[in-house]
Amino acid sequence: MNIQENAPLSALTTFGLGGAARFLIEAQQVSELLQALTFAKEKNLKTLVLGGGSNLLVGANGFDGLVIKIDIGGIVREGELLVAGAGESWDALVARAVEEGLWGIENLSGIPGTVGAAPVQNIGAYGAEVKDTLAWVEAFDTQSGTLVRLKNSECNFGYRTSRFKQETGRFVIVRAAFQLQKDGTPNASYKDLADAVRLNLTEVRDKVLAIRAGKFPDLQKEGTAGSFFLNPVVSAEKAAELIARYPQLPHFPAEGGIKVSLAWLLDKVLHIKGMSVGGARLFENQPLVVVAAHGSTSEEVRELVQKVSALAKKELGITLEPEVKIIN
């Protein structure tokens, strides 16, 4: 087991920002994950489990503990089930499903991150979410000290949330299985994909990738973690008030209330696309997305986010919740 000390986390996150981890272990097998957890216990270290680092903002102080990067690979097909190691790239799994003619996750094409991270925040796009196809996850349960298999119904999935987020630190996902379909049809329920009804599987994937290319910055050029905020889920009364003021506001029924489009509010009401603090700004094509230009700092991202949150509170009476996990 290779233990790195003082490892820069900027290299392991798509924001490309922040300080170092006191220790870093890259676990390619479950046995290495167990060794890493033992090491943390012996040294009394906090742990942070990392996938693709695509939903994380690391502060200048980094992480004063052990970061365990999950690199467990492998994709195996069992009938219409695809089983993947947690460290596989999520999009490699989607590409494989499409190659195999298996429907179900094609609308989730092009999302950065790993298979193991996907169930944690129940990733979603274009009318599909991980919870729609996930059969089970295999995870190390640090409470019982055993590997457990959790069925979909045991994962407590919701909008960008799951049991893995709620019971912080308890489970480390090592594999996940997706129940796909040989004879599927396009899921064209989302507005942007409405004309996808007649497309074949590869064409749906290509269409999603093309839409995303227009809405997200090029990760090679600038740092980002996708949507920085959740779309707010507000009470029926609050939604009615907002819709009366802004009749065009896109809104959808959601668990616990009405989900309103924050991108729309930031763009059409607050007019703050492109708003910046230092090298951090709200992306011109999608203001939910915060981008960090080369040379910017996590502090600038944080200040920008605070400014946006304060404006949303003052002008709209809405409390924003970050979607991105913030460390230090």
Q: Which residues are catalytic?
A: 160, 227, 321
Cα separation, 3 vs 9, in Å, equals: 14
Assess contact for 191 and 162: CB atoms under 8 A.
no
Name the segment binding ligand EPU (CB under 6 A); options: 75-83, 129-137, 281-289, 308-316: 281-289
Q: Virtual CA dihedral for 285, 225, 8, 50, nearest 10 degrees?
A: -160
> Helical H runs in the chain?
30-43, 90-99, 163-166, 201-215, 236-245, 262-264, 298-311
Nearer to ligand EPU, 180 or 230 (CB): 230
Stretch that binds ligand EPU, among 34-42, 72-80, 261-269, 297-305 (CB under 6 A): 261-269
CB of 38 to ligand EPU, least distance (A): 34
- In this structure, the strands spanning 81-85 and 171-179 are antiparallel
Nearest Cα residue to 204 out of 175, 221, 184, 226: 184
Give the amino acid at 252: F
> Of 122 and 152, which has the nearer Cβ to ligand EPU?
122
Q: For the segment 117-136, give every residue that binds ligand EPU (CB under 6 A).
A: 125-126
Candidates 176, 260, 288, 304: give the one binding ligand EPU (CB under 6 A): 288
- Assign 122 to helix, strand or coil: coil
Choose between 81 and 243: whose C-beta lies nearer to ligand EPU.
243
The least CB distance from residue 198 to ligand EPU, in Å, is: 21
Question: How far is Cα 213 from Cα 286, in angstroms, rounded to an integer?
Answer: 11
Among 96, 165, 170, 268, binds ligand EPU (CB under 6 A): 268
Residue showing the smallest CB distance to ligand EPU in the complex: 226
Q: Is residue 287 a contact residue for ligand EPU (CB under 6 A)? A: yes
Q: Which is nearer to ligand EPU, 101 or 250 (CB)?
A: 250
Q: Which of 35, 89, 156, 261 binds ligand EPU (CB under 6 A)?
A: 261
Q: How far is CA 30 from CA 26, 78, 83, 92, 311, in A?
A: 11, 21, 15, 21, 45
For residues 207 to 246, the per-residue mask of contacts with ligand EPU, x marking binding by CB under 6 A and - elsewhere, is --------x----------xx--xx---------------
Q: How distant, in Å, are the alpha carbons of 134, 135, 173, 252, 267 from that of 70?
A: 19, 21, 9, 35, 37
Contact with ligand EPU (CB under 6 A) among 32, 80, 132, 323: 323
Is the Cβ of residue 54 or residue 152 nearer to ligand EPU in the bound state? 54
Direct distance between the N- and C-terminal alpha carbons of the chain, in angstroms, rounded to an integer: 27
Q: How many CA atoms lie within 13 A of 316 on its CB side?
A: 27
Q: Which is nearer to ligand EPU, 238 or 268 (CB)?
A: 268
Binding site for ligand EPU (CB under 6 A): 125-126, 190-192, 215, 226-227, 230-231, 250, 261, 263-264, 267-268, 285-288, 323
